[in-house]
A and B are shown apart, each in its own frame.
Chain A
Amino acid sequence: MIISDNRFFLSSTAGVVVERPASSKWIFQVSENGFLQGDFLQVNGDLDISVLLNGIDAKCELNCGYLLNDNNKINIKIHVEHKCSKTISNQQIRGLATGNGEACFNGTITIPHNSQKCDGHQNHRAVILSDTARVLSVPQLEIWADDVKCAHGSAIGPLNKEQLFYLQTRGLTESQARKILLSSFFNHFSSMEFDGIIQDWMAHYV
């Protein structure tokens, strides 16, 4: 199964200047009160996203997913810079990895000295479905201001056995339970088109 390209869906670019210097590279400049909301689904290769929150109350919500199989290599780099006070960012990254693939997530939130009252969140979760797939996570916070909220989390592992058992005691087969748990993983995406791609991928690789 080949998914020809990596997908994206920008549901809000209000007050956002979008640059795409290469097919895998995105730069978003979000001005005062601007709102960036974007979904990205990566099946191979690089994805490099920079978000600059340039004005007060600028907001961004990034939902990234990746599906790793065979000998593919995925490299996701996200950098969010809170260049102004009272800016808000939220990144949710979800991945499924099988085969001999290798994925690397490198995510940075930067909050400089003068950017107070900012709120930054980054959460990366990946499920490893084979013995040989590899996922590397490098979450980083660079915080220089003192009155901010910032959190990051990263969890990589196999499917939770207790969750599988719980679903099975309700009458779902192991395969149904796996599918429910893995699909639920991606329900932060706003694009319906991605659902189809994820379902096809799971039907083929899970």
Chain B
Amino acid sequence: MALLEIKDLHACVGEKEILKGVNLCFEPGEVHAIMGPNGCGKSTLSAVIAGHPSFQITQGDILFKGQSILNQTPDVRANKGIFLAFQHPVELPGVGLAQFLKTALNAKRSFLGQAQMDGVQFMKHMNLRAKALGITPDMLKRPVNVGFSGGEKKRLETFQMAMLEPDFCILDEMDSGLDVDALKVVGQGLSVMREPNRSFMIITHHDDLLQYIQPDKVSIMRDGQIVTTGGVDLVHQVEEQGYDHFR
């Protein structure tokens, strides 16, 4: 069974239709890159999967582990295992990162009927992952995303993903605005998360990040629809020829 399946999905913002019949399927363990020109609906697709309230679904369905999630709130989707790494993570002044992550982790555990993590267990869980991604103790104390550089914000998104251990990871332009060193940290952080039961949907414009986490499939999106799905060679085709001949 597919981990996540998108069937003929149509979504609007106000009167404007942005997704015009998207069909996609993610098998467990699969890394699937989505590429497409600016404004084709990639970010909308990721927001709709995560349950953003600004979009109305007018047709179609999203099945996660075989069940429709369209009527579920973003928190239920998250606790079931969907994680969205934002292209532009919002700042949360006054909300300390570590405290927030502990609340989030325990929200998920209580949703899954697991015991709450105490302070010591949580610190162990956190420090291990923080170290791997170069998150300093100082960053953990700071408010979420406040005053962080673009690269630090992306590293924090990867870190939160590693903390919450989701089954389905959506990365919305994780590699935009990263320098080569930051890209390496994020790329390596992602590649160690690759597991047989965890799937990735990677929205990107370049093959930089994909060098670290090789996709099994690549889909090209244009004007709210998936126009082609293929192997990794599609990435090189896009890099060489642009999107014009994908229709």
Contact = CB atoms under 8 A, between A and B. Distances in A.
Interface of A: 160-163, 165-174, 176-177, 180-181, 183-185, 187
A172 B102 CA distance: 11
A170 B92 contact: no
Contact of B84 (A163, A169, A177, A180): A169
A168 B92 contact: no
Contacts of B78: 168-171
Contact of B107 (A161, A165, A173): A173
**Main SS class of interface, A:** helix
A185 B101 CA distance: 18
A187 B94 CA distance: 7
A183 B51 CA distance: 25
B93 interface: yes
B54 to A, nearest CB: 8
A172 B73 CA distance: 10
B107 A184 contact: no
Interface of B: 50-54, 73-75, 77-79, 83-84, 86, 89-90, 92-95, 100-101, 103-105, 107-108, 111, 143, 160, 164
A173 B90 contact: no
13 contacts: A160-B90, A167-B92, A168-B74, A168-B75, A170-B78, A170-B164, A171-B78, A173-B73, A173-B107, A174-B73, A176-B75, A180-B95, A185-B94
A172 B53 contact: no
A160 B105 CA distance: 23
Given A169-B51, A171-B105, A176-B107, 9 more contacts: A161-B53, A166-B92, A167-B92, A169-B74, A169-B78, A170-B107, A171-B108, A172-B103, A180-B95
A7 to B, nearest CB: 20
B48 to A, nearest CB: 12
Given A171-B79, A173-B107, A165 B92 contact: no
Contacts of B51: 168-169
Contacts of B105: 171
Contacts of B103: 172, 176, 180
A93 B78 CA distance: 34
Given A165-B53, A171-B111, A172-B103, A181 B75 contact: no
A183 B96 CA distance: 11
Contacts of B52: 165
B74 A184 contact: no
Contact of B86 (A160, A161, A166, A168): A166
